[in-house]
Amino acid sequence: MAPRLQLEKAAWRWAETVRPEEVSQEHIETAYRIWLEPCIRGVCRRNCKGNPNCLVGIGEHIWLGEIDENSFHNIDDPNCERRKKNSFVGLTNLGATCYVNTFLQVWFLNLELRQALYLCPSTCSDYMLGDGIQEEKDYEPQTICEHLQYLFALLQNSNRRYIDPSGFVKALGLDTGQQQDAQEFSKLFMSLLEDTLSKQKNPDVRNIVQQQFCGEYAYVTVCNQCGRESKLLSKFYELELNIQGHKQLTDCISEFLKEEKLEGDNRYFCENCQSKQNATRKIRLLSLPCTLNLQLMRFVFDRQTGHKKKLNTYIGFSEILDMEPYVEHKGGSYVYELSAVLIHRGVSAYSGHYIAHVKDPQSGEWYKFNDEDIEKMEGKKLQLGIEEDLAEPSKSQTRKPKCGKGTHCSRNAYMLVYRLQTQEKPNTTVQVPAFLQELVDRDNSKFEEWCIEMAEMRKQSVDKGKAKHEEVKELYQRLPAGAVKALCKECVVERCRILRLKNQLNEDYKTVNNLLKAAVKGDGFWVGKSSLRSWRQLALEQLDEQDGDAEQSNGKMNGSTLNKDESKEERKEEEELNFNEDILCPHGELCISENERRLVSKEAWSKLQQYFPKAPEFPSYKECCSQCKILEREGEENEALHKMIANEQKTSLPNLFQDKNRPCLSNWPEDTDVLYIVSQFFVEEWRKFVRKPTRCSPVSSVGNSALLCPHGGLMFTFASMTKEDSKLIALIWPSEWQMIQKLFVVDHVIKITRIEVGDVNPSETQYISEPKLCPECREGLLCQQQRDLREYTQATIYVHKVVDNKKVMKDSAPELNVSSSETEEDKEEAKPDGEKDPDFNQSNGGTKRQKISHQNYIAYQKQVIRRSMRHRKVRGEKALLVSANQTLKELKIQIMHAFSVAPFDQNLSIDGKILSDDCATLGTLGVIPESVILLKADEPIADYAAMDDVMQVCMPEEGFKGTGLLGH
């Protein structure tokens, strides 16, 4: 036998050339190789599960080869959770606690603070029994110091890649799902730690916070009149530097210490002068701490919005900072080295992610601390404060300034930590106390046990998989080879035909295109233009489908045939997409429209018929459908008749069509005492027909029953018809009414009569309607309308964005009485012949009003007013689907997605009323269907999809209220 590759090439070459009618037993054997070889190699395009000769279905091509042992299990390698050599331990992000993790890492790498915390007495002695630890229960720290001790000991000597700080976070009472202000957290925690350590007896422990972080400055005020100087001393643990308008850190420090003039209303009361005097005030730095925390005030309060916002401006800072020029007492050692950069990645003050770049005090190398992941920063990665890849608000971001050697610049750094430069090397012998080391050893033992357990589970899964592999391989080797003669000859013939056509398709496509360019000489065939545009794709899909049927349904190959009654509906749907059926008329004949078909030559049709042998065939001499021709003539006659009716009605009622000189109830015309009323909906439908009689059916009746209640009474008062209900009715002159009675079938006559009351000088005018008002039904209608306005579901409202406090929206109420311009409703397609409008009785004899229930009447009323009450959207508005029981907060979320404005930046109002109660429903706030809500955005918010962390769109945070940081 020839090698597999040569056999395969020969087999496929044969399939391209052999004619289906020439298939012999030898060809069948060749076809078997054609199918078998790809199946063994796993390149079969479909998983022919029902084909016993396809080995893809039982996976022989996989089981007979080598299998990667990792495919036998889904257990991760436990060693991936192991701490790498000479690396730091990460901290788990519990949801939104990345701001806590960054500070923990910075404090951990402060060796003096770590050493002092290790010296704190601990209640761990109660947990110890003799020289060991109680095995039956876990250690639970009782105080904040004990939590920090245990965390630092784990960060120092744990074998894990990262540890869980949930005990520490829980002890502080922090909400793991709420992101907080990192700078505020730093201040409050340092205050809490200082207060906790102040009770310690050991001075090295008691004073560690003051020694490391506490400095002193004075507010100095000098009277310009007498020169008296007053000082107010104050301690600080960080300097809060304004960055707005500055590019360098030194500029921010200079502004912090600059003089402030106290003049005018802000003058200073001088104790020496005993009066208000002009003065100057400034801050003098008296002493600086070993660790200098510089808070860059990126998160500022916006008084206009009442919320915080972030300043994304670049600030440059150096690795060496000389503070001597800024202190009052010169001559000391005030040179600082940069030791940490804390970063907020994101454009909003209420979301984003916190990361820390921290310098290892022992090795002098920089590391990036990102929760569980810790990365060494060296080479090109050593760009301090740069974490902007996912935080850019737009493509037009500010260009990063150039930085020299030893300097850096960042637009996301919010805190810089500097350490006092000393000649002494840092203490490298921070030892974990014995009782803490025992706890760490116990945790490491648990971790090692877990690693062994996971490795054993992996090994067991791999062993089972390998055993199964050998078993299946042995089974395959024992399987007898199937007889080639069992193949179905008809299936082989069909497969050969499909393969040949697939290979010929591209060539035939070029040939057909060239034939279509040439003029048709003699007789040809009609082909649908839509079919010609997509025939190659249709052919390929059809061949793939036939190929798949041969593999999956198996036909006679499996000794069974398809049920003829099976999936009839599916076949009907598929037949709608068949080639050349786009020129079939509803009667199955050639359609009469020549715009939808094209004449092609016999040669082109012959090529197409190879791929679509069952396609309908229409020679050029084939007549179009006779039934369609009759219907077309009838349609033309109907159109002519409609045009004649429309022209007659338009001529008879010119003022009603053009809406000229229409009467008005609020300004009753003097030349008549009687006016008639019809539904405005009737007028709109009639105008639509008159404008486009070929697209609409004639309006044959006046449906005034829509204006009456089930008892036959009028549903509108005279006052309401002059105001809110005026959009529902149309007033008719008496002369017009006589013409309407001739042209249309009128179900009910509704008229208003004016009566003058008085003898000589009329003192009062009364208006009487026929039929009279039905008070009971009128009351029910008003109540139902109010309920509908408060209990709607899936109604449309419009939100209009206001720019620069100016309402740029014009009055967008629809003009109901149009004259020459075509209304939006007129653009709708007319209903097909035979489809009746439910609002009108189209028959000639239906003069008797139908008896309808009150509920049916309400629904009927809604149909009548559905167009008249519709709001027309203008530029700057967006339509939203809402429900009455939806809260205002939920609406704000919808508006956020529509306008990219965060909820806390939205100021909403309706009809001059401010919408502020987020918990209130739209129904109680008076937001009804078709309402227009004005939106004023306080500030543009960038794309929220750019946030890489858990994005939180929330109202302004309540800070650390209720947490352990405030002593609760």
Distance CA 951, CA 897 (A): 14
Please check whether residue 313 is in contact with residue 398, taking contact to mean a CB–CB distance below 8 angstroms: yes
Helices 775-790 and 854-865 sit at what angle, rounded to 10 degrees? 60
Distance CA 471, CA 404 (A): 68
Number of Cβ within 10 Å of residue 795's Cβ equals: 18
Please check whether residue 877 is in contact with residue 777, taking contact to mean a CB–CB distance below 8 angstroms: no
Instruction: Give first-to-last CA distance, the chain, whole Å.
Output: 87
Residue tagged active-site, from 54, 98, 270, 709: 98
Distance CA 586, CA 870 (A): 38
Please report, for residues 91, 243, 313, the alpha-carbon distance to residue 342 in angstroms, rounded to integers and kept in the order given: 16, 15, 15
- Per DSSP, 963 falls in state S
Nearest by Cα to 317 from 408, 412, 418: 408
Distance CA 804, CA 663 (A): 42
Distance CA 767, CA 72 (A): 92
Residue whose structure tokens are 């009804």: 928
Any catalytic annotation for residue 98? yes
Nearest by Cα to 325 from 256, 254, 408: 254
Please check whether residue 257 is in contact with residue 269, taking contact to mean a CB–CB distance below 8 angstroms: no
**DSSP H helical segments within 109-232, as ranges?**
111-118, 124-127, 144-157, 166-172, 182-197, 203-206, 208-213
Distance CA 520, CA 527 (A): 13
Q: Is the dihedral of CA 252, 258, 263, 265 positive or negative?
A: positive
- Per DSSP, 443 falls in state H
Please check whether residue 55 is in contact with residue 36, taking contact to mean a CB–CB distance below 8 angstroms: yes
The residues, any chain, with a CB within 8 Å of residue 940's CB and separated by 6 or more, are: 900, 901
Q: What phi and psi values does residue 145 have, to the nearest 5 degrees? A: -65, -40
Distance CA 573, CA 626 (A): 26
Amino acid at 1: M
Distance CA 76, CA 450 (A): 12
Lookup: tokens for 603: 């040669």
Distance CA 316, CA 253 (A): 12
Q: How many residues does the chain have?
A: 968
Burial of 901 (C-beta count, 10 Å sphere; 0-12/13-18/19+): buried
Q: Is the dihedral of CA 583, 586, 592, 593 positive or negative?
A: negative
Distance CA 839, CA 854 (A): 16
Could you tell me the maximum CA-CA distance found in the chain, to the nearest angstrom? 127
User: How many Cα atoms occupy the beta-carbon half-sphere of 831 within 13 Å?
Assistant: 10
Residue tagged active-site, from 27, 147, 307, 353: 353
Burial 715-733 (b: 16+ CB within 10 A, else e): bbeeebbbeebbbbbbbbb
Distance CA 170, CA 174 (A): 6
Q: What phi and psi values does residue 57 have, to the nearest 5 degrees? A: -60, -30
Helix, strand, or coil here: 890?
helix
Number of Cβ within 10 Å of residue 304's Cβ equals: 7
Please check whether residue 100 is in contact with residue 166, taking contact to mean a CB–CB distance below 8 angstroms: no
Any catalytic annotation for residue 353? yes
Please check whether residue 220 is in contact with residue 231, taking contact to mean a CB–CB distance below 8 angstroms: yes
Catalytic annotation, residues: 98, 353
